[in-house]
Structure 1
Amino acid sequence: MTTSERIFVQAIRAYGARHGIEVDVHSGGWLIAMRRGETRRFAFGYDIGLNSAIAHRLANDKSATAEALSLRGVASIPHHLFLNPKLGRNVVGPNWRDAMLALFHDHPQGVVVKPNEGTSGRSVFRVTTEAELDHAVGEVFAMSTGLVISPYVAIGDEVRVVLLDDAPLVVYSKQRGTDWRHNLDAGAKPVLLEDGEIRTACAKLAIAAANAIGIRFASIDVVRVDGDWRVLEINSGVMMEALAKLHPELVQATYDAALDRVFGTNS
């Protein structure tokens, strides 16, 4: 093991060492093969292998997640999908630009443009003018087949809930720095929440969101807007690199619990 390995990989190695599981790391740490006797499992990226294919795909698609949550009446931030015009007129349609401008003008406080798939706040733009919109759309379409546009809202608080089969194993707030975003990669700091009203409300909403798409192990971001909690997004890959710097035992225990489900083990 090298110290440059992601915490996710280190956690799987540690679990394997304690439970007699062979762990082979490939593709620079992004593909992990696990074997105990005749039982073989894989982890990929930050996905430990518990979620169904459809739940994984829904969670990785911001627009689809928002639609699924709306169907179940789960409060969430809207994400409107626009496909890359490079896919062709028959796929995208002729009026995508007009629809995009209409949505932009419906929100005079601004909108947020970001890839439909992806994490860590990369290529996320706050847009308040048509020129900024053109720039953001060009940047996102240069690296993505689809983007989503959400109304810009003043987020009072953002909380991440890591769920395993409806149990909130980790709940922490993201304390942002100078950036308007709450992404950990943008400098936000994770602060564990103690038992109380906020933790309970966030966990309840996260469980409702997980049930809406049928996901078992996920990190769910919820935000408080005008005093009400809403789901921002669901992540099927559970990344806790930043949290591990502050609470390594909690992170290891969380991955351990998920791997127990993968291998049918009682730690």
Structure 2
Amino acid sequence: MTTNRPYLNLIQHSVKNDGVSFEEIVPNYLYRAILGEKSFLMHDVEVGLNNSAAAKTAMSKSGTYETLKYYDIPAIEHAFLMNTSSRFSKNDSFELAKQLFSQWNKKVVVKQDNGSQGNNVYKVTSIEELIKCLKLLFQLGVNASISPYEEATYEYRIVTLASKPKLFLGKQRTTSWKHNLISGAIAIDIPDEQAPQLATLANKAASALELDFCTVDILQTSRGLHVLEINEQVMLDEYCKNNPDRQRKVADVYREAVLRRFKKI
């Protein structure tokens, strides 16, 4: 049984000719992938190649930055701001945010520390906005992170599997300051001469976080290429929507990932 979600359906059909079948546990959400006598749970689009510690680190924007910094990998700084309602909160997150706002030329980005697929991400240029956005995030019951705003026209997403780059995607922002395709950015091809440098940086970043299957987002800044974030789930639905060639490429990557998962069982 397969799903009626287009992206998840693409993933499941990618291994149809390999003899892999799927039993539905929760419709469009939770499945049991089966190949012969082997099976594993597939949670949404997650095939389970990444260990839990690595996945949790990647989910944290500040945790990702600190790990990359530890390994001397160029990345956009993200500072952790604990929710002031947390019972673990000891420092004043608002005061720290104000200090960093001034330090970073009064132009920052504030977001959920655990990410939200481009939602709850704010570009801030005043103290009043900073306080307002932090309060909004904290009211949602989440922690936040703050980073300096980097003026960048291009963002690149590299899909890595087993420490090898499998797919290179480019995004050019247009009407929005964000690079999300759903926010108006357009998908572009990456020049062949740029691919080796992007591949090297993406592989270093994925290896540092010990992720077997992930996407690495890299900004083209005035200071060169810097990792923006790493996503432990490979979500490329907007990239390949209504584009058969891209759908084929994504399906090929997921086919390799699913079969790799079975080999590890």
Same fold (TM over 0.5): yes
Residue 210 of structure 2 is matched in structure 1 by 214
Amino acid at match of 1:81: F
Contact (CA 8 Å) 1:87, 1:145: kept in 2 or not?
Answer: no
2:138 to 132, 136, 141: 141
Distance 1:4 1:35, change over 3 A: closer
Distance 1:64 1:250, change over 3 A: same
Residue 112 of structure 2 is matched in structure 1 by 115
Residue 5 of structure 2 is matched in structure 1 by 5
Residue 98 of structure 1 is matched in structure 2 by 95
1:113 positional shift: 0.3
3-state DSSP of counterpart to 1:162? strand
1:128 positional shift: 0.7
1:44 positional shift: 1.8
Residue 261 of structure 1 is matched in structure 2 by 260
Contact (CA 8 Å) 2:106, 2:126: kept in 1 or not?
Answer: no
Matches of 2:233 and 2:54 in 1, distance apart?
11
Would you identify which runs of 4 or more consecutive aligned residues in structure 1 move more than 4 Å?
Answer: 1-4
Residue 128 of structure 1 is matched in structure 2 by 125
3-state DSSP of counterpart to 2:174? coil
Contact (CA 8 Å) 2:4, 2:28: kept in 1 or not?
Answer: no
Residue 42 of structure 1 is matched in structure 2 by 41
Distance 1:118 1:29, change over 3 A: farther
- Length-normalised TM-score, structure 2: 0.92
List alignment gaps of at least 5 residues for structure 1: none
Amino acid at match of 2:60: D
1:175 positional shift: 1.7
Contact (CA 8 Å) 2:170, 2:189: kept in 1 or not?
Answer: yes
Are positions 1:72 and 2:109 aligned together? no
Amino acid at match of 2:222: D
1:237 to 226, 233, 250: 233
- Length-normalised TM-score, structure 1: 0.91
Distance 1:221 1:259, change over 3 A: same
Amino acid at match of 2:208: A
- Offset from partner CA, 1:215-246 (integer Å, 9 cap, x none): 11101000011140000000010011022222
Amino acid at match of 1:127: V
3-state DSSP of counterpart to 2:40? strand
1:42 positional shift: 1.8
Amino acid at match of 2:159: V
1:73 positional shift: 0.2
Equivalenced residues, count:
261
Distance 1:2 1:37, change over 3 A: closer
Matches of 1:76 and 1:46 in 2, distance apart?
27
Contact (CA 8 Å) 1:154, 1:225: kept in 2 or not?
Answer: yes
3-state DSSP of counterpart to 1:29? coil
Matches of 1:25 and 1:244 in 2, distance apart?
25
3-state DSSP of counterpart to 2:227? strand
Contact (CA 8 Å) 1:243, 1:251: kept in 2 or not?
Answer: no
Contact (CA 8 Å) 2:77, 2:147: kept in 1 or not?
Answer: yes
Distance 1:94 1:220, change over 3 A: closer
Contact (CA 8 Å) 1:104, 1:110: kept in 2 or not?
Answer: yes
Amino acid at match of 1:152: Y
Matches of 1:249 and 1:124 in 2, distance apart?
31
Matches of 1:27 and 1:109 in 2, distance apart?
46
1:137 positional shift: 0.7
Alignment RMSD (CA, Å) = 1.9
Matches of 1:176 and 1:25 in 2, distance apart?
38
Matches of 1:213 and 1:226 in 2, distance apart?
25
Amino acid at match of 1:32: Y
Contact (CA 8 Å) 2:107, 2:149: kept in 1 or not?
Answer: yes
Matches of 2:2 and 2:212 in 1, distance apart?
30
